[in-house]
A and B are shown apart, each in its own frame.
Chain A
Amino acid sequence: MHQSSFKNLLTRPFFPAACFLALLAIPALAQDKPYFVTYSHDLEEPGNLEIETKTNVAQPYGGNRYGATAVELEFGTRAWWTTELYLDGQATANDSTIFTGWRLENRIRPLMRDHAINPVLYIEYENTSGADKTILEFVGHDSQSDLAGPNSELRKDHQHEAELKLILSSNVHDWNISENFISEKDLGHAPWEFGYAVAASRPLRSAESGRECTFCAQKFMAGAEAYGGLGNTWSLTLRDTSHYIAPVLGWQLPKGIRLSFSPGFGLTASSLNHVYRVGLAFEFEQVGNWFKKSSEGGR
């Protein structure tokens, strides 16, 4: 990777801001799964804010190596409703570091009880450029060639997209099994595109040990996810689609910090050979109360 590109990334305003917020982190642990593409039915606890960076590093065939990061601000609006804002950027070796857009998503649990299969409805609006390389999902005939061009060319393409997902998720004997059906529509003249993501994971140990620890087995979750495109309404075929399989590992650290890692392996010619993902999350408890307290104190 071109060193100056990474240096640029580190000097962007959101990185120091994220580090500052990390220093303020107070203990809070979510039951989040270490997936990068697949969603489970876990929502953010109401009133909590989680800030997570999801970074992937890869090199498309015929293109330069890149690192792309999505900064995710996830807020528990209600116990059954989570709202998220994503800010995306990327740095490409021998090219440039650029902001590539934003997304706003909502996840809603329509059923108030826990069932064998729990549905969650996902609605997202994306305002990104063609240079976005965060690859938080694969749909239609998405291919590694989409990631290979120079940033100056890719960013000319502007995408206003709506994305709908049906998330189905189950917890069975400490395993979580999740399936996502993805449909995405460019709000211009483009067809509906479809994709999928499936995942399973479980903690390495089920019970708490009764003493504070950082490296205990119950702090780690392991599993795997698979994701890919399913064509579009103009060409509903698996030809020229990308598919990946990726082991996932999550580590719950003290002070509300969660680290996750996933090496992804491409399964078709359209897929990247390898994609390495790293996630770092901080959870802040009951942020709504911070404002209540300050307004009460101001009276």
Chain B
Amino acid sequence: MRKLPALFLMLASASLAIAASSTRWAHVPARDHARLNPLANQTDAIPAGKLVYSDHCLQCHKANAMGDGRNRPALRSERIRTASDGDIEWFLRQGDLGHGMPSWSGLPEAQRWQLVAYLRSIQ
């Protein structure tokens, strides 16, 4: 009987995590969600994306893309794996200013897509 509350808590946490995960991308407009990475088939998109990552993302999300274990989230995650290319590009463009993620709309669009290719490659 003692295990029941723990089981309930685990289930509730898992449900919340799934809900939060789906909520993140539920905000993405359908047009952006459906976009495919136009650079996905270019051979140098991944190494170029790695450079963009080193320049702009590494300082917070770390070289292994596992975040800092606190408020800088891991980028090798279910949330990224379940996102479409368009979702990730939209999120990079928008940022999440309220939670510390800058908007990268100032980066050229091609570099955002190269970053998407790199993030896909490390999952």
* Residues of chain A having any CB pair with chain B under 8 Å: 27-29, 31, 33, 40, 42-43, 45-46, 48, 78-80, 109, 112-114, 171, 173-174, 176, 202-203, 206-212, 218, 285-286
24 A-B residue contacts at CB 8 Å? A27-B54, A27-B55, A28-B59, A43-B102, A45-B59, A46-B100, A46-B102, A79-B98, A79-B99, A79-B102, A79-B103, A80-B98, A112-B97, A112-B98, A114-B95, A114-B105, A171-B106, A174-B110, A203-B108, A206-B108, A206-B110, A207-B48, A207-B110, A210-B47
From A27, A40, A79, contact of B106 by CB (8 A):
A40
B111 touches A286 (CB 8 A): no
* Residues of chain B having any CB pair with chain A under 8 Å: 39, 44-45, 47-49, 51-52, 54-56, 59-60, 93-111, 114
- CB closest residue in chain B, given A169: B106
How many whole Å from B90's CB to the nearest CB in chain A?
9
Contact residues in B for A206 (Cβ distance below 8 Å): 108-111
How many whole Å from B102's CB to the nearest CB in chain A?
5
9 A-B pairs closest in CB distance: A210-B44, A31-B106, A207-B110, A208-B48, A206-B108, A210-B48, A210-B47, A29-B55, A80-B97
B110 touches A286 (CB 8 A): no
Give the interface SS of chain A, mostly helix, strand, loop or mixed. loop
Since A46-B102, A112-B96 are in contact, a sample of 13 more A-B pairs with Cβ atoms closer than 8 Å, ordered by chain A residue number, is A29-B55, A31-B106, A42-B106, A46-B100, A78-B100, A79-B98, A79-B99, A79-B103, A114-B103, A174-B108, A206-B110, A207-B110, A209-B48
Contact residues in B for A174 (Cβ distance below 8 Å): 108-110
Central interface residue in A80, A109, A208, A212, by most chain B CB within 10 Å: A208
Contact residues in A for B59 (Cβ distance below 8 Å): 28, 45, 48, 285-286
Contact residues in B for A203 (Cβ distance below 8 Å): 108
Q: How far is the CA of A174 from the CA of B105 in the complex (A)?
A: 9
Central interface residue in B52, B103, B104, B107, by most chain A CB within 10 Å: B103
